[in-house]
Amino acid sequence: MTVLDEQTRIVAVCAVGALIPGRGVAALLPDGRQVAIFRTVDDEFYALSNIDPFSRAAVLSRGITGDSDGIPFVASPMLKQRFDLRTGVCLDDESVVIRTYPVEVADGVVHLRP
Amino acid sequence: MTRTLVVVGHGMVGHRLVEALRAEDTGHAWRVVVLAEEPRAAYDRVALTSYVDGWDAGALALPGADYAGDELVELRLGDPVVEIDREARNVVTAAGFTQHYDALVLATGSRPFVPPVPGHDLPGCFVYRTIEDLDAIRETVERVKSAKRGRAAAMVVGGGLLGLEAAKALRDMGLSPHVVEMAPRLMPLQVDEGGGSLLRRLVTELDLTVHTGTSATVIEEDRGRLCAKLTNGTELDLDLIVFSAGVRPRDELAREAGLEVGERGGILVDSSCRTSDSGVYAIGECAAVEGRCYGLVAPGYTMAEVVAAQLLGREAAFPGADLSTKLKLMGVDVASFGDAHAATEGALEVVLADAVSGYYKKLVVSAEEPRTLLGGVLVGDASAYTMLRPLVGSPLPADPAAMLAPEGAGAVGVEALPDEAQICSCNNVTKGAVTGAILSQGCDSVAAIKGCTRAGTTCGSCVPMLSKLLDACGVEQSRAVCEHFAFSRRELFEIVKATRITSFAELIAKHGTGSGCALCKPAVASILATLDTTMGEGGHVLNDEQAALQDTNDHFLANMQRNGTYSVVPRVPGGEITPAKLRVIAEVADEFGLYTKITGAQRIDLFGATVDQLPLIWKRLVDAGLESGHAYGKALRTVKSCVGSTWCRYGVQDSVGMAVELELRYRGLRSPHKLKAGVSGCARECAEARSKDFGVIATEKGWNLYVGGNGGTFPRHAELLVSDVDSESLVRYIDRFLMFYVRTADRLQRTAPWLEELEGGLDHLREVIVDDKLGICEELDAAMAKHVENYADEWRGVLEDPEKLARFTSFVNAPGTPDPTISFRVEREQKVPVLLGVPEVVSR
Ligand code: SRM
Ligand SMILES: Cc1cc2nc3c(=O)[nH]c(=O)nc-3n(C[C@H](O)[C@H](O)[C@H](O)COP(=O)(O)OP(=O)(O)OC[C@H]3O[C@@H](n4cnc5c(N)ncnc54)[C@H](O)[C@@H]3O)c2cc1C
Ligand code: SF4
Ligand code: FES
């Protein structure tokens, strides 16, 4: 498949109900990449790479979400660094940025654009 | 023109001189050459004993002592000065280096005094002053330990402050130390007879053998060991001897250069620290200021500042020194201040002693009214020291006896202190200077005051006072949990309890801001979990919204490891386990290929399980009668035990039975931090109970209960709360202790720091849970009863609930597929993680 196909394709991931508000889940993309999808208590959805760049373990989906000065974040469960859910910027070390993915919810199903 | 200052000796005082001079010499009047004998830059000698804790010399380093980046300071290490040519104004080092000076400062300190006992120079005899001395002691200790079984013995010659420190260090290295003191009591310079005899009792309980009123007459070599004969006829078989019988000023260089020395040694200087040659100064322990030497660091620092001022053209004089001391030796408080021996004419003594509680307190006051505080001695409980020391020389704000009573010190506020009262004696900072820093320089924390005034940066004993002064100035020291709640954990607990709020969402909407974070969510989850079960609603930590609040470990009821896998720790109450259960653990480990290790707390940890495997593993364990060990939770971990009277020939009670009972009683209790306990069957303490949050030690008559111990980063021995109680009372006091802690401690505050901060300390705790002074015991008892009644195994709860079970998958869109980034390799016949993972960092 071509890169263009990859970018235009939308992947259906799971039912909205599989996500607890304030928590995340991990999804496996067909090419092996892992995405952490979060649902906030205000029912906003975000998706980031699941890999914690500091420990390199695929664990970000298991972190606690929250906000700092209004910025929604997830704190890595490994060593607690926080990442802006909207941009992937690490709030504790701004030189580190992780990849984000567009998410959409349609008909009660969470979709990703890889 | 820049002139040259030569400093001989780079100890704490020499360093302070350079620092003080360089901070103020903005016109570059001086270039400084420091010539040092020791192979390393000045370090914190006062804290030398702590070197034993980690053998990390770096931890003793003084900030800035290498003068990196300062071109006007040259530091030459490991090459002592051997000659001063005063006419030519040159010094010459052992290596033959000659250095000219315009001004010379001698800061050569002192050397340990070794009494001329025959045999004092045999191998195995040491002094205690430098890092190298301790390294040499350690080497011998290790050699002795590896060569023999049983406990090695040591003798410390000298029962003063340093002798006791040396004895502590040796005890920490695992030796049994004997302390031999010529005077009739320990610490003869600082404490009086009453204080000395209590001190002796307290340190004897801590495994020191004390011999007073005697000294060694000869030391002989005896089949590879040392034998010391004392004047009282005692003979000691030893592996090692440390001389710590006082110090002698190092004035040899000055003597040879023809400078005057004091009658009892020391380089004679006037009050401006000048020697008989006006171009040469002496400071620190080597100096005899108007004939008197000072063996503490604070007077040395003052001398350094006096000389720095003069080098910059200002007049300055040494004002005399405060020789107060406060120290904690093996957990025993000792303090002595002002005229401790009531040498002032007509001075009166007020003594309060309680041999049972183990304290001795004495104030020395003036004969005339109003009573002026002249000095005092505190042994066993020196909490009043910070309050009393600054009052020396001032009229007492209350009746002397009231000031000594356990709460008396607390009752007299910092407001009572005059502005000139010295708060930090190490750095000579007054109350006025501290309040000035708070009020006009905007210091709003202890750290800020330290930065502004230096107070609290040396021995640290004045830090509690700094915090009290912040309070007195109306500065709120924030205890807030995080940016979302303006409350401490304790306050949140009270709010949740009073309002019966049962959800985080409601709590943050009514009492907080924003949506929460990784600090407040788990803290509130813990409060809700405690109150849920104690209110009798029988919750589960993963019910509804609570699941979203938990740290990842609690969320998956397992501990996350560095590669994203988890570990599994079944509960093994008291460390007692049947072969059948061991077999199940072994089978499960085999089947799921888990790395297996015995933990430091008498149980078995299985590592390397993926999220999807956790319920499968636990199904097997739960079916075999095992349950969650809460290794992941801020909850009770284990109650460690020794074999006790059932098997051990020394045991006096059934320590295993008690440990099992306690572990089953408190399992699952959610608390501000993890809780650990131990039960030993006799005073030999094989279960290390005193390093636990609560420790129980069997006695002939029952049990002794110790509370507030900690291993970990800041080890602390637990303190005796009650003694010789029966099993029922023991359990009752532990119930109350735990419930009181759970309700009032801060987030992630273990019992040791909690107890240290508790106003009124151990005595207050005893009043609350033994005497029921606050009238809350009934409530605490009921809460614990509810907890015990409502306990249910968390893992069983998950296995029985399909909704909770469904969360244990690696991928929401591919249940059953394990995380492909996880891989293992084999080491010592077991698998261990390979740290692969593709970093997905995008740099800006
Ligand atoms: C497994 C074990 C080491 C071992 O292989 O022996 C261990 C492993 C961890 N310890 Fe420990 N500690 C273990 C016994 C201890 C002990 C010894 C004891 O309990 O008798 C201590 C000192 C005693 C004490 O706590 O006072 C100890 C003091 C700590 C500390 C420092 C606590 C402190 O107050 O300073 C931490 C850090 C913390 O909790 O914040 C810690 C934290 C940890 C964590 C949870 C660190 C982490 O976040 O990953 C480790 C993961 C546990 C796991 O299973 O994945 N561990 N840890 C031991 C498990 C015992 C058990 O059966 O539950
Ligand atoms: C274990 C221990 C615990 C202590 N606890 C306390 C305490 O709690 N409170 C307190 O106030 N004090 C305490 N002290 C005392 C305190 O450490 C000293 O008062 C302080 O270090 C004195 O500093 P100084 O610079 O004068 O001397 P030192 O620190 O002895 O430094 C002198 C330096 O000069 C060097 N030197 C000597 N001769 C020459 C030469 N010819 N050429 C070059 N260099 C030379 C020496 O090698 C040494 O490095 C303790 C001391 C010890 C050993
Ligand atoms: S503490 Fe006492 S009873 Fe327990 S094993 Fe040690 S010696 Fe035996
Ligand atoms: S009294 Fe020692 S640091 Fe303040």
Residue B844 placed within a domain: no
- Ligand 2 centroid–CA B7 distance in Å is 14
pLDDT higher than threshold 80 for residue A92: yes
- Ligand 4 centroid–CA B50 distance in Å is 17
B426 vs B514, residue with greater confidence: B514
Contact B682/B693 with Cβ under 8 angstroms? no
Distance CA B597, CA B586 (A): 11
pLDDT higher than threshold 90 for residue B386: no
pLDDT higher than threshold 50 for residue B593: yes
HEC string for chain A: CCHHHHHHCCEEEEEHHHCCCCEEEEEECCCCCEEEEEECCCCCEEEEECECCCCCCECHHHCEEEEECCEEEEECCCCCCEEECCCCEECCCCCCEECEECEEEECCEEEECC
Q: Mean pLDDT over residues B301-317, rounded?
A: 94
Indicate which residue's Cα is closest to atom 2 of ligand 4.
Answer: B459
What three-state secondary structure class fits B630? coil
Query: In the numeric block, which tokens belong to residue B244?
Result: 């710590």
- Asked if B422 and B510 sit in the same domain, the reply is no
pLDDT higher than threshold 70 for residue B486: yes
Q: What is the pLDDT of residue B459?
A: 66
Q: Mean pLDDT over residues B85-98, rounded?
A: 95
pLDDT higher than threshold 70 for residue B395: yes
pLDDT higher than threshold 60 for residue B538: no
Q: What is the pLDDT of residue B841?
A: 43
pLDDT higher than threshold 90 for residue B113: yes
Which runs of consecutive H residues, i.e. helices, occur in B667-760? Answer: 727-744, 751-757
Q: Mean pLDDT over residues B792-810, rounded?
A: 91
Q: Mean pLDDT over residues B514-528, rounded?
A: 91
How confident is residue B460, by pLDDT bands cut at 50, 70 and 90?
low
How many domains does chain B fold into?
Answer: 5
Flag if A64 and B517 touch (Cβ within 8 Å). Answer: yes
| Final residue in a domain of this structure, among B758, B774, B790 | B790
What is the Cα B404 distance to its own chain's centre? 25
Residue B240 placed within a domain: yes
Of B560, B811, B838, the CB nearest to A59: B560
Q: What is the pLDDT of residue B618?
A: 97
- Asked if B578 and B671 sit in the same domain, the reply is yes
pLDDT higher than threshold 90 for residue B740: yes
How confident is residue B497, by pLDDT bands cut at 50, 70 and 90?
confident
**Positive/negative CA dihedral, B222, B225, B226, B227:** negative
Distance CA B215, CA B211 (A): 8
Distance CA B464, CA B477 (A): 13
**Count of residues in chain B:** 844
Q: Are strands B3-8 and B103-106 parallel, antiparallel or unpaired?
A: parallel
Lowest mean pLDDT among A27-31, B611-615, B738-742: A27-31
Distance CA B683, CA B204 (A): 14
Residue B260 placed within a domain: yes
B821 close to A (CB below 8 A): yes
pLDDT higher than threshold 50 for residue A5: no
Q: Mean pLDDT over residues B450-458, rounded?
A: 81
pLDDT higher than threshold 60 for residue A2: no
- Asked if B600 and B730 sit in the same domain, the reply is yes
Residue B516, Ramachandran bin (φ over 0: left; ψ between -120 and 50: alpha; else beta): left
pLDDT digit string, tens, across residues B653-684:
999 999 999 999 999 999 999 999 999 999 99
Indicate which residue's Cα is closest to atom 7 of ligand 2.
Answer: B46
Lowest mean pLDDT among A81-90, B336-345, B552-561: B336-345
A112 close to B (CB below 8 A): no
Q: What is the pLDDT of residue B488?
A: 86
Instruction: Tell whether B648 is in a known binding site.
Output: yes
Q: Which domains does chain A have, with CATH numbers?
A: 2-112 (2.102.10.10)
Query: In the numeric block, which tokens belong to residue B786?
Result: 């509810």
Share of chain B above pLDDT 90, in %: 57
pLDDT higher than threshold 90 for residue B474: no
Taking CA atoms, B74 is separated from A107, B35, B45, B86, B225, in Å, by 75, 9, 22, 21, 45
- Asked if B255 and B278 sit in the same domain, the reply is yes
Residue B651 placed within a domain: yes
- Asked if B167 and B131 sit in the same domain, the reply is yes
Residue B835 placed within a domain: no
B292 vs B396, residue with greater confidence: B292
Residue B389 placed within a domain: no
Helix (H) or strand (E) holding B307: helix B297-311
Distance CA B842, CA B844 (A): 7
Residue B357 placed within a domain: no
Q: Are strands B216-222 and B225-230 parallel, antiparallel or unpaired?
A: antiparallel
Q: What is the pLDDT of residue B59?
A: 85
Distance CA B703, CA B723 (A): 6
- Asked if B456 and B307 sit in the same domain, the reply is no
Q: What is the pLDDT of residue B839?
A: 44
- Asked if B566 and B518 sit in the same domain, the reply is no
Provide the CB-side half-sphere exposure for B473 (13 A, CA): 25
Distance CA A52, CA A60 (A): 6
Provide the CB-side half-sphere exposure for B730 (13 A, CA): 25
pLDDT digit string, tens, across residues B145-161:
888 667 789 999 999 88
- Asked if B668 and B747 sit in the same domain, the reply is yes
pLDDT digit string, tens, across residues B19-46:
999 999 988 999 999 999 999 999 999 8
Q: Mean pLDDT over residues B740-758, rounded?
A: 90
Q: What is the pLDDT of residue A3?
A: 34
DSSP string, B279-301: TEEE-GGGEEETTEE--SHHHHH
Domain region containing B19: 3-111+249-311
Flag if B813 and A27 touch (Cβ within 8 Å). Answer: yes
- Asked if B602 and B742 sit in the same domain, the reply is yes
Q: Are strands B240-243 and B125-127 parallel, antiparallel or unpaired?
A: parallel
pLDDT higher than threshold 90 for residue B244: yes
Average pLDDT, chain B: 89
pLDDT digit string, tens, across residues B164-180:
989 989 988 888 899 99
**Positive/negative CA dihedral, B299, B300, B305, B308:** positive
Q: What is the pLDDT of residue B690?
A: 95
pLDDT digit string, tens, across residues B562-592:
999 999 999 999 999 999 999 999 999 999 9
- Residue B838: list chain A partners with CB under 8 A: 51, 56
Q: Are strands B595-598 and B604-609 parallel, antiparallel or unpaired?
A: antiparallel
Q: What is the CATH number of the domain that holds B454?
A: 1.10.10.1100
Q: What is the CATH number of the domain that holds B169?
A: 3.50.50.60
β-bridge mates for residue B261, sequence order: B267
pLDDT higher than threshold 70 for residue B63: yes
| Final residue in a domain of this structure, among B212, B228, B245 | B245
pLDDT higher than threshold 60 for residue A1: no
| Final residue in a domain of this structure, among B288, B311, B334 | B311
Of A56, A80, A99, the CB nearest to B842: A99
Q: What is the pLDDT of residue B560?
A: 95
Q: Mean pLDDT over residues B593-619, rounded?
A: 96
Report the complex ipTM: 0.71
pLDDT digit string, tens, across residues B636-656:
999 999 999 999 999 999 999
- Asked if B627 and B742 sit in the same domain, the reply is yes
Flag if A53 and B841 touch (Cβ within 8 Å). Answer: yes
Q: Mean pLDDT over residues B517-536, rounded?
A: 81
**Interface list for B 554-593 with A (CB within 8 A):** 555-556, 560, 562-564
What is the Cα A50 distance to its own chain's centre? 6
Cβ–ligand 1 contact at B605 (below 6 Å): yes
- Asked if B158 and B103 sit in the same domain, the reply is no
Q: What is the pLDDT of residue A49?
A: 95
Distance CA B388, CA B402 (A): 12
What is the pTM for the complete model shown? 0.57
Share of chain B above pLDDT 70, in %: 96
Flag if A20 and B547 touch (Cβ within 8 Å). Answer: yes
Q: What is the pLDDT of residue B843?
A: 39
Q: What is the pLDDT of residue B259?
A: 96
- Asked if B12 and B132 sit in the same domain, the reply is no
Distance CA B717, CA B691 (A): 5
Helix axes B520-534, B777-790, angle to 10 degrees: 90
Q: What is the pLDDT of residue B836?
A: 59
